[in-house]
Amino acid sequence: MDSHIGSSFIRCDSSRGTAELVVQNATYGPGGHGASIGYTIIDSELARILIAATASGVCWLGIHHSDAYLEAELRRDYPRAEIRPDNNALEYAARHFVAYLAKSSSELRLPVDIRATPFQYAVWRELCAIAPGTTRAYADIARRIGHPGAARAVGHANGANPLAIVIPCHRAVGSNGGLTGYRWGIEYKQRLLEHERTSAQTSLPLPTIAS
């Protein structure tokens, strides 16, 4: 897979403080029906990272210390897909993502192939609008997307986020500021926030989100 930006994509430019998420229809059905998904697992300074993609774009990204756990979670999310290791096809995406995470690259450009309900898409776009290293309560996110009182539903949308880190669900917290409800474990939620806070990039303005 190359760096071509198709109809669905995520694009981050930390040098300008911008992030853009655009999601159109996925190329597969519920549970990954009809999808052929390749994946690779790579090292990063924070943990092991699994990147998975169809021929059209990245469809899943997870972070954990256990390769077996990452593989099991991928298969749990896509029970109806054909899934196989594919290190060669994902070399560019993996290398580019790790460089961005390590801040040795200021730009991340990835085509994506993900499914989203209108509510999930609204939540994920709002997550992208949270400044790196800062947090926002689920209830506040719900109000901002026009669904006051839907904090629990926002939490569910966070849990359904298929692209850990790049769609930054680690920046969502409980009403008391507690680091709760992170699929990959509170330890990694804390690590990601601390990584962002200590980065020189945290002084950038809020991202802008595509309509």
- Asked if 59 and 114 touch (Cβ cutoff 8 Å), the reply is yes
% of residues, the chain, pLDDT over 70: 89
Mean pLDDT score of the chain: 88
Predicted confidence (pLDDT) per residue in 64-75, tens digit:
999 999 999 999
pLDDT, average across residues 137-157:
97
Per-residue pLDDT of 112-128, as tens digits, reads: 999 999 999 999 999 99
Distance, in Å, from the CA atom of 171 to the CA atom of 141, rounded to the nearest integer, reads 11
Query: What CATH number should be reported for the domain holding residue 41?
Result: 3.30.160.70
3-state secondary structure of 119: helix
From 111, 144, 166, the end of a domain falls on 111
pLDDT value for 131: 86
Q: Are residues 57 and 133 in the same domain?
A: no
pTM: 0.89
Tell me which of 12, 59, 128, 169 is the catalytic residue.
Answer: 169
Domain identity same for 98 and 125: no
**Spatial separation of the C-alpha atoms in residues 46 and 191, rounded to whole Å:** 7
Q: Residues 139, 197: one domain? A: yes
pLDDT of 192 over the 50 cut: yes
Q: Is 169 a catalytic residue?
A: yes
* CATH code of the domain covering residue 128: 1.10.10.10
Q: Is residue 130 located within the same domain as residue 83?
A: no
Residue 59 in domain? yes
Dist CA 139 CA 134 (whole Å) = 16
Tally the domains of the chain: 2
State how far the Cα of 148 lies from the Cα of 82, in Å rounded to an integer. Answer: 39
Q: What range does the domain containing 189 cover?
A: 118-202
CA torsion 165-168-174-178 (nearest 10°) is: 40
Q: Could you say which DSSP state residue 112 is in?
A: B
Helix (H) or strand (E) holding 82: strand 82-85
> Do 106 and 126 fall into the same domain?
no
Measured in degrees and rounded to the nearest 5, phi and psi for residue 82 equal -85, 120
Q: Taking residues 7-34, what's their average pLDDT?
A: 86
